[in-house]
Amino acid sequence: MGPGTIVNTFVSLPGLSAYTNEQASGGTDQESDTALLQRIQERRQKPVNGTNGWQYRAWAMSVPGVGDAKVVELAEGAGTVGVTLVDSTMAPASPEIVEECQTLIDAQRPIGAVVSVSAPAALTLDVTAVVVITATASAEVVEEAFRVRLGEYLSSLIREKYGVIYYTPGDDKAYTVIYNRVLALLLTVDGVINATSLTVNGGTADITVQPNQVPVVGTVEVTA
């Protein structure tokens, strides 16, 4: 709500002839419209009950700041549940978010269930590229566009990984950042004609991400 939006009240107050509001400050939106819609659709499509993994995921996703939550139902054997959190940017959740989620779940979990809430480790991806670009393009603009696309790709991998309930830790397997997919993201940036060099963490191979990790964008350097 912008400044000057409030100009009337439902009840006339003696002595007041005009009403207005200043610019609001402080606070943050707890959840974007897109994230809310996703949570509602998931709740409809994957009904929860008091003992299944979807219930723990629903509890975790209701905590402000949580972008996604991975649940392992038998994390350390019978009666244990593991919940791993990322924030709204798909980076490891902060200690404050983890603590708030742990408190919320502990207050609602079935009696006897032991729940461990944590954040994954960050696997930083540093990318260096040399490109051939058009006369109207610049390396700086290409670099920023590539950084955004890379971040979107990594976020999609995390959402795919976290959108499943795992029965045991053995079901929660490593996943892969595909080198050729990263190269394709670079080649399809406006103004890029070709890429003569591309390294991800110093190499040209796929990057394996362990179950307790999430890939995050590190240094991105593009030269022409």
For residues 100 and 191, the answer to whether their CB atoms sit within 8 Å is no
**Cβ-based neighbours of 215, under 8 Å, separated by 6 or more:** 123, 125, 154, 157, 158, 177, 207, 209
Res 7: pLDDT: 73
Helix (H, G, I), strand (E, B) or coil at 114: strand
Q: How far apart are CA 57 and CA 48, in angstroms?
A: 9
For residues 197 and 128, the answer to whether their CB atoms sit within 8 Å is yes
Going from N- to C-terminal start, the domains of the chain cover 47-118, 122-222
pLDDT digits (tens, 9 = 90+) for 54-75: 999 999 999 999 999 999 999 9
Q: How far apart are CA 116 and CA 173, in angstroms?
A: 19
27 pLDDT band (50/70/90 cuts)? very low
Fold of the domain built from segment(s) 47-118: GMP Synthetase; Chain A, domain 3 (3.30.300)
Res 14: pLDDT: 75
pTM of the model: 0.79
Please say if the pLDDT value at position 4 is more than 90: no
Please say if the pLDDT value at position 28 is more than 80: no
Res 2: pLDDT: 72
